[in-house]
Amino acid sequence: MVLDIIYALTSAVITTCFLTVLFVFSLWHNLVAAHFKPRDPRDTRSSSTGIKPGKRTRNSSAASGTPLALDTDHLNNINFDHLISSPQTNVEQSEDGQWDRNKQENPFGDLLYAEDTKLVPDLKHYYSQYGILVEEYEVETEDGFILELWHFTPADTKRVSGSKKHPMLLLHGLLQSSGSFASAGRKSLAYFFYESGFDVWLGNNRCGFKPKWNRNKVRNDSKWNWDMRDMVKYDLRALVTAVLEKTVKSKLTLVAHSQGTTQGLMGLANGETIYEDDFRLVDKVENFVALAPAMYPGPLLQERLFVRFMSRFIASPVFFGKRSFMPQMMMMRSLMVGTKLFSFLSYVMFNYLFDWNDTLWDKSLRNRHFLFSPVNISVKLMEWWLSQDIRKKTFKTYGNDIFPDAMTWFPIEGEFSRQKIPCHTNSKVSSADQYPYILLFVPKQDRLVDGERLINHFADYEPQELYKCWYIDEYSHLDVLWAHDVIDRIGRPVLDNIRVADDAM
């Protein structure tokens, strides 16, 4: 007890100093970037891994007549999106949403003009203006954590259980909520999927904005004693089960971003060892859509001084405590969220830490994007992401055991079995239909994770009929959610390629 108090005091002092220094560096970086650096969305630095021809090699062929300048490697199911947006593609606008209508012709201009520029940290405020009711449910995990599950439904009609619409569960990234899928309003992926006829659900992992527990199951020392393994074993299972029960469906489409992709693919590729009963995630998911998939660490984790500092000391309770990770962030959110200053400060700090920018975003919507982050996470989860301790099973030290490069994660009788490639944990099945169809959207500018390594794995070791990849030259880690053309480059390709029964739409 006394030791916990000491840890709380020392970590509060150290993390406050850390955030203060980070804040100063971030502001300076933003000043230099805004006034002295050229505004070019392309990053010319090489990634840690290059995409190599797969073992099923074939020359790439240019796709003619496509508006997105795609080169397609048909044999390995990889689309290379080389489009670099012209200045005319994105509406010239200020942060208050105004622009010269006579200067630009843009099909999304009217959508932006109609968007509410007020900063309200509640999706209901915005989606009620679109005739959409955001229902809120609470879902309890087997280990006693209360999760928030949001659902889009028409505001003028009562929801009918057992709708024919195909359910789609959206799952967020680290330090975010699933509001990140919907913050762009009519230009968001969540809204696009809903308007395209899908039953859209937004799932949130444990603790979120306001931590809730079943006090009969969760003791005080367990409230923050969780990491990625628990989120896969309990949170993902609870969210998927709840959506399927409420929709009376047997399968859903899982759309995930960053950390959510780690959860999803861990559950799909390692379910035989994670779930201790007869629950099989591969039997519940029809399609898995991974945006900025985070299976392997990228070079940025070794380049940024502040990230290296966290990696070095994240396991020390003296530095970061043993409970919530940097609770000062949530305190500042409670005091400032809904102001332009809060959104601006959130942007500059994450921009500096993770090396992405807002070049491809609609400027009038940027402040809205940061209304739905950060969220509460445990120090133990951040330790899972950043720790360099080889004795612990973490993202940086154990990635090749969770997602082994030279094994087949989704084995199918036939081509790959003849090549004698070892299987991971899933047993062989007779056809690809028995696994989810996997769509990978990998941003080339994303140096936080190594998406190229994941593409190489699928090209070399996974059955061709199981997956399809998009490698987007100018996108970064958050552009897959917030770029001005995300509907064309993410939303429509998703709908054009996922498996959905004819009577489900």
Q: Which residues are catalytic?
A: 258, 446, 477
Taking alpha carbons only, the member of 428, 405, 402 closest to residue 415 is 428
Question: CB-based contacts of 225: which residues, under 8 Å, 6+ apart?
Answer: 378, 380
What are residue 468's DSSP bridge partners? 439
DSSP run (H or E) holding 136:
strand 132-140
Let me know: does 466 contact 439? Beta carbons within 8 Å.
no
> Are 371 and 186 contacting, i.e. CB atoms less than 8 angstroms apart?
no
Q: CB-based contacts of 40: which residues, under 8 Å, 6+ apart? A: 359
Q: Which residues touch 259 (CB under 8 Å, ≥6 apart)?
A: 172, 173, 174, 228, 294
Tell me the two tokens of residue 122.
């509640």
Q: Are the beta carbons of 397 and 387 closer than 8 angstroms?
A: yes
Going by their DSSP bridges, the two strands 252-257 and 199-203 should be labelled as unpaired
- Containing 147, the helix (H) or strand (E) segment is strand 146-154
CA distance linking residue 244 with residue 28, whole number of Å: 48
Tokens of residue 125, six digits: 């405020």
Q: Which two tokens stand for residue 379?
A: 């120090």
Task: Give the list of residues 6+ apart from residue 384 with CB closer than 8 angstroms, or none.
Answer: 227, 228, 229, 394, 395
